[in-house]
């Protein structure tokens, strides 16, 4: 939908066709991602590679942790690359599964109120 469509044009251009200010672009991106519930950590807070990493993180979460679907979305040549890159999401999912199991096993259900007087 951009007016700038040749291969020589910038992907993120200002209204004049010149490069968009990277600091402004980063802040706009940070705000948009924040609305989606995606927080940028310091490791991924800089550079446009953030878009790709965020896309992979969102794809992984929305496929229920399907590594193969995420690999295909990102175009990785093997699922091993995806696993190595998104290991932190897998660890988060494992922790959440552990919490769920812990609750199911160790938390006592509330006793029903006695109906006898």
pLDDT at 77: 92
Mean pLDDT (the chain, rounded): 77
Q: Does this model's pTM top 0.85?
A: no
Choose among 52, 39, 42, 40: nearest CA to 85: 52
Residues 6+ apart with CB under 8 A from 50: 26, 29, 40, 44
Is there a domain that residue 12 lies in? no
User: How many domains is the chain built from?
Assistant: 1
Is there a domain that residue 87 lies in? yes
Is there a domain that residue 91 lies in? yes
Tell me the pLDDT tens digit for each residue of 36-48: 776 666 555 555 6
């Amino acid at each position: 939908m951009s007016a700038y469509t040749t291969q020589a044009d910038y992907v993120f251009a200002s209204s004049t066709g010149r490069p968009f200010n990277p600091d402004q672009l980063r802040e706009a991106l940070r705000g948009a991602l924040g609305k989606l519930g995606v927080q940028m950590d310091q490791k991924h807070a800089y550079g446009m590679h953030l878009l790709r990493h965020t896309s992979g993180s969102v794809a992984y979460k929305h496929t229920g942790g399907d590594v193969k679907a995420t690999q295909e979305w990102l175009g990785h040549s093997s699922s091993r690359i995806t696993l190595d890159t998104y290991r932190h999401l897998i660890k988060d999912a494992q922790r959440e599964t552990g919490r769920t199991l812990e609750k199911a096993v160790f938390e006592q259900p509330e006793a029903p109120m006695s109906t006898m007087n």
